[in-house]
């Protein structure tokens, strides 16, 4: 087990260095309005930050000399977390919905499955359409091909075939993706 020297500061959390955590002999300082104050020692920069009643935050630690900005660090962290939350809200996750058919599916059942596929595509999800074969049905793959072709035809206004019908074991699979909306 590695032991830390208790006189050292606690391990730094992720994020920029703030106030007394800033190391280096000289730092480039930017005031709250965005004006450059020049290259100063960290102590001088901290005094200026204290006169503004704000924090000194290292925004670019890898440049020479490191760039520090005088700002309200608590407000900065809050706005940053708010931006990240908004970005997560705007992310759209595309789910893969699956519909299972049989080669000898009835016309009405086929219409119900088509209606479900249309609803999934309108919601922005991809649809995986699977035709399962049981017993000797597997010799009638042409039936499944025609069912999947007619399904793709009826969904062509909402989506396009992303993966053509392919045999996977005892089932034939086709994937339909929603059309991109440019609005």
Judge whether 160 lies within some domain. yes
Judge whether 146 lies within some domain. yes
Domain count, the chain: 2
Per DSSP, the three-state class of 6 is coil
Predicted pLDDT at 97: 92
Verify that 54 and 107 share a domain, yes or no.
no
Judge whether 5 lies within some domain. no
CA distance 162 to 25: 58
Predicted pLDDT at 161: 92
Which has more confidence, 76 or 131? 131
How does pLDDT run across 98-151, given as a tens digit for each residue?
999 999 899 999 999 999 999 999 988 999 999 999 999 889 899 899 999 999
Judge whether 28 lies within some domain. yes
Predicted pLDDT at 100: 94
Beta sheet of 126-132, edge-to-edge order? 96-101, 126-132, 171-178, 159-168
Verify that 119 and 58 share a domain, yes or no.
no
The helix (H) or strand (E) run that includes residue 131 is strand 126-132
Verify that 107 and 170 share a domain, yes or no.
yes
Can you read off the two tokens belonging to residue 64? 């020479």
How does pLDDT run across 21-66, given as a tens digit for each residue?
888 788 888 888 888 888 888 888 888 888 888 888 888 888 888 8
Q: Tell me, what CATH number does 28's domain have? A: 3.10.20.80
Q: How confident is the model at residue 10 (pLDDT cuts 50, 70, 90)?
A: low
Give the structural domain span for 132: 96-178
Q: How confident is the model at residue 183 (pLDDT cuts 50, 70, 90)?
A: very low
The DSSP-derived string for 18-67 is: BGGG--SS-EEEE-TTS-EEEEE-HHHHHHHHHHHT-EEEEEETTSSSPE
Predicted pLDDT at 25: 86
Q: Is residue 182 pLDDT above 50, yes or no? A: no
Cβ-based neighbours of 128, under 8 Å, separated by 6 or more = 96, 97, 98, 99, 173, 174, 175
Judge whether 104 lies within some domain. yes
Judge whether 126 lies within some domain. yes
The DSSP-derived string for 94-112 is: PPEEEEEE-TT--HHHHHH
């Amino acid at each position: 087990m590695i032991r830390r020297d208790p006189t050292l500061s606690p391990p730094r959390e992720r994020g920029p260095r703030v106030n007394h955590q800033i190391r280096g002999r000289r730092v480039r300082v930017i005031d709250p309005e965005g004006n450059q104050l020049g290259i100063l020692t960290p102590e001088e920069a901290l005094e200026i930050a204290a006169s503004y009643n704000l924090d000194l935050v290292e925004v670019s630690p890898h440049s020479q000399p490191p760039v520090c900005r005088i700002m309200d660090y608590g407000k900065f962290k809050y706005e940053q977390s708010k931006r990240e939350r908004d970005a997560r809200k705007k992310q759209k996750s595309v789910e893969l919905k699956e519909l299972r058919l049989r080669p000898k599916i009835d016309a009405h059942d086929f219409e119900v499955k088509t209606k479900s596929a249309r609803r999934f595509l309108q919601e922005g999800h991809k649809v995986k359409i699977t035709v399962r074969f049981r017993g000797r049905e597997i010799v009638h793959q042409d039936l499944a091909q025609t069912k999947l072709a007619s399904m793709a035809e009826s969904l062509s206004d909402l989506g396009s075939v992303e993966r053509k019908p392919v045999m996977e074991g005892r089932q034939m699979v086709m994937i339909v993706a929603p059309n991109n909306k440019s609005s």
